[in-house]
Chain A
């Protein structure tokens, strides 16, 4: 065990897989000698060489497509997009190409590509750095979309993603990179993609969250506990596919749910979770499933983040609304 931040756990996962499998390649803008703009790839080029860990020209479309090309010679690319707001430049490469590569070859080709990218608000980034665009990825058949909320999950999920023969979009919330440390096992381990995790058990209401909203949900649960309301907090960990089995099981117990996302109400994946739960568990519901989301505007100017981003107070308010319904 070692105390690690989430970003250290991510570096550790890449180092583990670079060591385990010589077909793993890590590349992107400034990820080599610089070690990445957030130090996610710190020391990797030094340890594994420029052949394995290398910088690219500044062009996101070609970066992800380079990854697809490399799979034809059986490489396993771990590609970094510097900030996920730059996804739009790479949208064809990811959604039009990588996501379809297996089916369009009649399954004669595999797509073991991981696209890593930081995203998320609360750290005063300039325009188009923090946007939550996981909804676009979750709407794309062929991808799996993973969003860890803590160091332990981040390492295990990234190792699983790199070992997956399917393409995985691995989104790393910037606010969580160094916000806390955890004891992370030094040995290799996997966390299964597509499985949620119950962070806290409770009987009164289910709080379903992912990314930075998991911490907010836990804080909200703490506050609700002071009023003797026992909230169950579930971290989705994978937003495509969603682990509905775990969610339904929880809702059957609590009969109430709130789905929490940092993304705008019309974006993200919360609407999908609500509709699936209403199809699967309507008879167990005592109240409508409510959502905590950001407003449907463009991601805010830096100084407006604090009034725009959803937080624990919003969660407490919505949870009480379901309880008082």
Chain B
């Protein structure tokens, strides 16, 4: 008998890949395609989720415009990712920790970060990173993958304290190629800690397509390497993202360990506003295909079908968002300028002698 009759690595691979079929509840037309999995959300909750997604779309549009006017700095567009960002966050509780990547500012805002601070983060002001007490989160992580290993630690802390909370973190498709990505999910698995790892697979890491990151057919199957559950969801479907995250959270707080969630999503805008031009690597056909999958469109249709959402309601959310953004920018403008001595004070709990000496020098300069 040939060896391949007994054991075929090729078969094993295809069997693994079959296990990670995309979970969808709402299709592109807003129709329920998986009745059994429709989450138990009240009408108010459904409306709130839609409100947050619309608000976040406005935030993206306004942030892009404000960036072009020079009134914001670093900004990574989020349009298209509302379901993966907002619906996953919607499954969390107040005491949960959020460890975002640089594109995940919306989750922080809905977790309690004042909008003014989010804008100060964009501009590069330390006050943007001073989170209010009780907002359990870190500021957006620039080093891709670092948030994953840190999340394992936060979740271990929660487990040790016996808290019924989780730590959630986000990275992109490119980020799954990092060592820290793997170390993070593997540590969380080895310690069986309450962590949720989300991959927002938007097909591109700047200009590099998802296929160039890995031959793996899904990114969710990378969970297998850590021995933890993994699931691929339609990241343009708010209900599917919510259900997957809620399920992961429920299991985590019961002590059943971490989960890896891959959300298939898309960003309509460029990678960041720092000169990236997506027309160099994406086709307009591809863009319009994904626009048909817009999470707002399908959720709007779904809610309209349930008589829970109207055009007027949406207009109201948009207006309110615009006003709040205007007020927050104004407040950010009024924030005091940073000083060198101010930065020095933030460095250490106990200032070392070299900084003490430099402090005196800059204090002198600043008082002139």
Contact = CB atoms under 8 A, between A and B. Distances in A.
B136 A141 contact: no
A68 B161 contact: no
A62 B160 contact: no
Contacts of A106: 126-130, 346
Contacts of B179: 59, 61
Contacts of B128: 106
Contacts of A243: 353
Nearest to A67: B153
Given A106-B130, A110-B349, A73 B158 contact: yes
Contact of A72 (B146, B157, B348, B354): B157
Interface stretch (A30-38, A95-103, A295-303): A95-103
Interface residues of A, number: 41
B138 interface: yes
Contacts of A242: 353-354
Interface in A63-83: 65-70, 72-75
B349 A165 contact: yes
B350 interface: yes
B50 interface: no
A72 B154 contact: yes
B58 interface: no
Interface string B163-196: 1000100000000000110011011001000000
A245 interface: yes
B139 A104 contact: yes
A142 B354 CA distance: 12
A69 B156 contact: yes
B67 interface: no
A243 B356 CA distance: 12
Does more than half of chain B's interface fall in helix, strand or loop, or is it mixed? helix
A71 to B, nearest CB: 8
Nearest to B190: A57
B130 A108 contact: yes
Nearest to A77: B153
B343 interface: yes
A240 B139 CA distance: 27
A165 B350 CA distance: 8
Contacts of A165: 349-350
Contacts of A141: 347
Given A62-B152, A65-B152, A241-B353, A103 B183 contact: no
A47 interface: no
Contacts of B129: 104-106, 108
B160 A51 contact: yes
Contacts of A51: 160
Given A57-B187, A72-B157, A62 B149 contact: yes
Contacts of B48: none
Interface in B131-153: 131, 136, 138-139, 143, 146, 149-153
13 contacts: A61-B149, A68-B153, A70-B153, A72-B136, A72-B154, A73-B160, A73-B163, A102-B349, A107-B346, A108-B130, A242-B354, A243-B353, A245-B353
Interface of A: 51, 56-57, 59, 61-62, 65-70, 72-75, 92-93, 96-97, 102-108, 110, 141-142, 144, 164-166, 194, 240-245
